[in-house]
């Protein structure tokens, strides 16, 4: 049994054994009456009247670690950026030379220890968090080894210069910011996404 199946089975077994017994069946928020100064029309109207279909396993993130914010999220962001590049017309990729991942905040400060660099490379190589084998992450530890990948018919070499450990103090609205860029040979940004 792989670790993903084990985690899901363990969780469901815990629920079945009554580990969560005694918890309320529905969550309740703070009553609007507790905030008399707020207008009533801005409050959350409540759950939808239809059925919400969410399994217990949808609530948990499974993938290579050690961190959901510094490993799983960057892997997903890089994979999504790769998918975005795949959707671009070939002429948009024609002038591209590099893919860069700029890390800000604690992603830059502590990302090395959380394997953020490996996660970004894995995502750009086509790995997805749910199916990424931990052995792939271990193999990406060798920074001197360049990786070649084709995105939308364009070949890119990924390596040490793909990851830019940028400023810890920055002006972005979120403390952990990752900016993915598609860059031309003269340094012009052809496509960019901020997460």
Contact 100, 183 (CB under 8 A): yes
- Percent of the chain scoring above 70 in pLDDT: 68
Residue 9 maps to a domain: no
Q: Strand runs (DSSP E) across 55-158, as ranges?
A: 96-104, 147-151, 154-158
Contact 123, 82 (CB under 8 A): yes
Distance CA 137, CA 159 (A): 14
For the beta carbon of residue 95, count every other beta carbon within 10 angstroms: 14
Residue 178 maps to a domain: yes
> β-strand 177-184 against 96-104: which pairing, if any?
antiparallel
Q: Does 33 score more than 90 pLDDT?
A: no
For the beta carbon of residue 162, count every other beta carbon within 10 angstroms: 19
Q: Does 44 score more than 80 pLDDT?
A: no
> What confidence category does residue 92 fall into, taking pLDDT thresholds of 50, 70 and 90?
confident
**Quick one: pLDDT at residue 11?**
65
Residue 2 maps to a domain: no
For the beta carbon of residue 70, count every other beta carbon within 10 angstroms: 22
**Quick one: pLDDT at residue 69?**
75
Residue 20 maps to a domain: no
CATH of the domain at 163: 3.30.1330.90
Q: Does 83 score more than 80 pLDDT?
A: yes
Residue 121 maps to a domain: yes
Domain limits at 77?
A: 68-194
Residue 149 maps to a domain: yes
> What confidence category does residue 162 fall into, taking pLDDT thresholds of 50, 70 and 90?
very high
Share the mean pLDDT of the chain.
79
Residues ≥6 apart with Cβ < 8 Å to 129: 61, 62, 63, 64, 72, 75, 76, 79
Distance CA 187, CA 194 (A): 18
SS3 150: strand
**Quick one: pLDDT at residue 121?**
94
**Quick one: pLDDT at residue 1?**
55
Look at the chain and report how many structural domains it folds into: 1
Residue 62 maps to a domain: no
Residues ≥6 apart with Cβ < 8 Å to 109: 168
**Quick one: pLDDT at residue 25?**
44
Contact 122, 135 (CB under 8 A): no
**Quick one: pLDDT at residue 124?**
95
Higher pLDDT, 153 or 182: 182
CA distance between the termini of the chain:
34
Place of tokens 């893919």: 99
């Amino acid at each position: 049994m792989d670790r993903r199946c084990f985690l899901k089975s363990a969780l469901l077994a815990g629920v079945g054994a009554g580990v969560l017994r005694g918890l309320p069946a529905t969550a309740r928020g703070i009553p609007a009456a507790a905030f008399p100064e707020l207008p009533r029309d801005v409050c959350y109207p409540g759950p939808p009247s239809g059925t919400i279909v969410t399994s217990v396993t949808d609530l948990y993130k499974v993938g290579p670690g050690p961190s959901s914010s510094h490993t799983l999220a960057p892997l997903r962001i890089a994979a999504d950026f790769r998918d975005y590049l795949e959707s671009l017309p070939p002429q948009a990729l024609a002038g591209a030379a590099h893919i860069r991942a700029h890390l800000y905040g604690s992603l830059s400060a502590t990302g090395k220890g959380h394997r953020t660099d490996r996660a970004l490379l894995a995502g750009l190589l086509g790995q997805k968090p749910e199916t990424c084998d931990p052995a792939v992450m271990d193999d990406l530890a060798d920074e001197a080894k360049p990786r070649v990948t084709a995105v939308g018919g364009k070949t890119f070499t990924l390596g040490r210069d793909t990851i830019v450990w940028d400023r810890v103090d920055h002006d972005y609205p979120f403390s952990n910011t990752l900016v993915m860029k598609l860059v031309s040979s003269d340094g012009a940004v052809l496509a960019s996404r901020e997460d």
